[in-house]
Structure 1
Amino acid sequence: MPEGEVALALAELRSALEVGFARIDGQLALLVQRNDQTDKALEGLEQRVSSLETRRWPLATLTVLAAMAGLAVGVFGALLS
């Protein structure tokens, strides 16, 4: 194989590698961008869940309120009888 053909083949190989690396670089940049967007969305969801958790009434509190209401109705009913 003459040296000219080897040099041409190497130049084509180098060009193909550069194109491949550029494509991979672009795909990696896109993945990083999507990862950043996912991180932001996850952070927003965590904040929403946290705010919902602080606003909800615990089950124990509802149980106590229901028991007190039942007691009040019972006492009121006993007083009327």
Structure 2
Amino acid sequence: MTESDPNDPVAVALELERLRGTLEAGFARVDGSLALLVQRSDQTDKQLADHEARLDELERSRWPLASIAALTATAGLGFAMWEIVSR
């Protein structure tokens, strides 16, 4: 094996080309990872929006139940009082 001169322009060019290839591969890997993270973030946003819509629907449908329960309790109390008073 022969040792190459570190100042040899051909050796420098070859080493720079190797570094360039390594950087390109690294950037491609990072770019792929970022694309995957963006896709997962979009899916999470859609899922969160779906859960919010479902929760809003449950809250809206639950509101009349409390009113109906209060009216039924008031009516029951009214009937009980009417029965007590009518004796």
User: How far off its partner does 1:30 sit?
Assistant: 0.3
Question: Could you list the per-position Cα deviations for residues 42-71 of structure 1 after superposition, in whole angstroms to 9, with x for gaps in the alignment?
Answer: 111011011101101368623343123211
Unaligned runs of at least 5 residues, structure 2: 1-6
Counterpart mapping for 1:14-25 below 5 A:
14-25=20-31
* TM-score, normalised by the number of residues in structure 2: 0.79
Q: Which has the larger radius of gyration?
A: 2
Q: Which has the higher contact order (CA 8 A, sep 6+)?
A: 2
User: How far off its partner does 1:77 sit?
Assistant: 3.2
Distance 2:47 2:76 in 1: 42
Number of residue pairs matched by the alignment: 80
Identity score, percent: 46
Counterpart mapping for 1:2-81 below 5 A:
2-57=8-63, 61=67, 62-79=69-86, 81=87
* TM-score, normalised by the number of residues in structure 1: 0.85
Distance 1:26 1:76 in 2: 76
RMSD of aligned Cα (Å) = 1.8
